[in-house]
Amino acid sequence: MAVNAKNISDDEFFFGHKACAGCGGSLALRAALKVLGPNAVAALPAGCMSAVGFNFPQLAFANNAMITPFAATASVLTGIEAGLRAQGKKPDDCTVVGFAGDGGTADIGLQALSGAIDRNDDVLYICYDNEAYMNTGIQKSSLTPFGAKTTTTPAGSNTRGCLTQKKNLFEIVAAHGIPYAATASIGYLNDFIRKVERARDIRGTRYIHVIAPCPTGWGCGVDETVDIAKDIVDTGLWYLAEYEGEQVSGVPGGRFKLNRDPKEFASVDAYLRRQGRFKALTDEDAAAVEAGRDAKWEAMRRDWRG
């Protein structure tokens, strides 16, 4: 008989799942489902969170949850929402939520996500971004940052890891004119929780992109996950922001908002050097990463503030 999570814990996604020690993705899932409650209906594609959460008989979800084909997270959300509506369920009572990794979102699932936003389906899509295809052994995705070592972007004396830049999925999603989109980090958990609450209460498509470090793939200690997720924000390599589409903001074309604008950044070099995946980066590479950060912040401060 499957264990009933409700007998054991008040969480919707609870202990006993099979995630690695220090898994950032599982923390994001747990916090989000705590906000969304037992009536939330979740869909997860192939990826770490479905691999670790659905091990019969130790199912880690107390709410309704299902696994989708890899590319189909947003399409399945659309179908679930239509089904609940046909049953007369109120969207305020049961959020339809997807949890997909960076590969499942930025690469293989992007078309389905784009279609759902285009239709403005009443669903919440959460991408937990651990910056690679972790479940199949750390392959590069389009959200892997420059310089990171993965099994498909090896690093050593002749090659320096990932040679491409991280795709800006938050702004790609915002460019659809979605009602609500946000970036977050599990290092700033209260900010993430506030954004899940906000997304829960808005109708139409909502998207949250949460940075969720993976000690196995990033080459850091299992007790460093939250600290590194804080560090990436403090260095300015990740930023906490929101986009409200016209439907929510009343502003034609929508409005971006920076939630955190540090006067001084933490050291990019120290952030990179504390992770095994960036071991082969040269000092020039690290300086180029910092220069990219500065250019991005100059543009955000100019365009998004006020």
Ligand X SMILES: Cc1ncc(C[n+]2csc(CCOP(=O)(O)OP(=O)(O)O)c2C)c(N)n1
Distance in Å, CB of 101 to ligand X, minimum: 2
- 62 scored as a contact of ligand X (CB under 6 A): no
Continuous H helices in the chain = 5-8, 24-36, 48-53, 73-86, 102, 110-119, 169-174, 189-200, 215-218, 225-234, 246-249, 268-273, 283-304
Among 63, 68, 141, 225, binds ligand X (CB under 6 A): 141
Q: In this structure, are residues 92 and 122 in contact, taking their beta carbons and an 8 Å threshold?
A: no
Distance CA 159, CA 281 (A): 10
Tokens of residue 91, six digits = 């969207």
Name the residue with tokens 């004119």. Answer: 177
Among 47, 145, 147, 187, binds ligand X (CB under 6 A): 47
Among 5, 31, 36, 48, binds ligand X (CB under 6 A): 48
Among 53, 104, 147, 187, binds ligand X (CB under 6 A): 104
- 112 scored as a contact of ligand X (CB under 6 A): no
- 26 scored as a contact of ligand X (CB under 6 A): no
Q: Is the dihedral of CA 289, 290, 295, 297 positive or negative?
A: positive
Q: Which of 56, 42, 43, 51 is nearest to 3 (CA)?
A: 56
Distance in Å, CB of 49 to ligand X, minimum: 6
Residue nearer to ligand X on the CB measure, 44 or 289: 44
Which of 129-137, 225-233, 241-249, 262-270 is the region at the interface with ligand X (rule: CB under 6 A)? Answer: 129-137
Which chain residues interact with ligand X by CB under 6 A? 25, 46-49, 70, 100-104, 130, 133-136, 141
